[in-house]
Structures are given as C-alpha cells and as structure tokens.
Amino acid sequence: MYAAAGIGLAAIRIGEPWRVVTIDLGGQNEPRQPRVFINPEVMWHSEEAAIYMEGCLSIPTSYEEVERPASVRVRYLDINGAQRKIEAGGLLATCLQHEIEHLDGKLFIDRLSRLRRDRVIKRLAKTRRHSAGPMA
C-alpha cells in the first residue's frame, strides 16, 4: 500500500486470502498510522449518497467518479481481536466501502454504468499491451 502510495489495501488484492483491510489516510509526508480492520462488515449506510473520484491499485491509471452512501457504520475486529464499531463519513467512508467490496471480489468499476466500465477496461487492456510491468 505504501509502496504504491495507496490509502487503503485489501489483503486479497495481494493474494492473501483473509478478510483484512488496512487504511491510512495520512499524507505521504505524515507518520504512518495504518488502521487495521479484520472481518469488516457494513452494518448501516446512509440514504444520502456522495460522489468521490476513486482510483484503485488493481486498475492502474483510471480514476472515475463513483457514487456510494455518504456515511457507513462498520463492525470489525481490531488488531487485538476486540469487537469494534466505527461510524465514518467523507473519504474514510468511501475507502472502507471500496476495501470491503474487494473482500467480496468487487472493484469500483462494478458501480459504474456499462459504458463507463467498458471504457475503463479497454483503457486497461491498452495500457497492458504497451507495458510489461509487474501488473501486466
């Protein structure tokens, strides 16, 4: 996550089959304070929606506006295995939902219209043809 300058990571996205998420909204020049969420579940979400420009480490170079509930309440276990709840709004709410969806095999493009999703996928295929990076 830090190597790719991401603000969140779901374990399964790097091949670790656990329902574990890390999030650190701190800037690159701030001390690292990773938050860990084990078995996170959205137990409530607001009716109100919010739109954020989202990116994803699994979909390099595509950023799209994504609509989601503006606030969520999430139940999870902390790093010590203690039951916790958090109510989040803003970027944290968006990031929590983005990561929790990864745990179920979903990407933010699954929330886009088919037109916009297909455009992202086409762009990704093109990028892969032109680079032989580690994600290729």
Cite the active site residues: 99
Strand order in the sheet with 35-45: 8-10, 20-23, 35-45, 72-77, 83-88
11: burial class by Cβ within 10 Å (0-12, 13-18, 19+)? middle
Residue 95 binding: pick among Ni ion, ligand GNR, none (C-beta 5-8 Å cut-off by kind): ligand GNR
Count CB atoms within 10 A of the CB of residue 116. 15
**Cα–Cα distance, 38 to 121 (Å, whole number):** 30
How many residues bind to ligand GNR according to rule CB under 6 A? 17
Residue 61 DSSP code: T
Residue 95 near Ni ion by CB under 5 A = no
Residue 7 binding: pick among ligand GNR, Ni ion, none (C-beta 5-8 Å cut-off by kind): ligand GNR
From residue 88 to residue 127, the character string flagging contacts with ligand GNR as x (rule: CB under 6 A) and all else as - is ------xx--xx--x-------------------------
Q: Which of 19, 20, 24, 54 binds ligand GNR (CB under 6 A)?
A: 54
Among the listed residues 9, 5, 69, the one whose alpha carbon sits nearest the alpha carbon of residue 36 = 9
Task: Kindly list the residues in this chain that would bind ligand GNR in the complex (CB under 6 A).
Answer: 6-10, 13, 52, 54-58, 94-95, 98-99, 102
Task: Kindly list the residues in this chain that would bind Ni ion in the complex (CB under 5 A).
Answer: 56
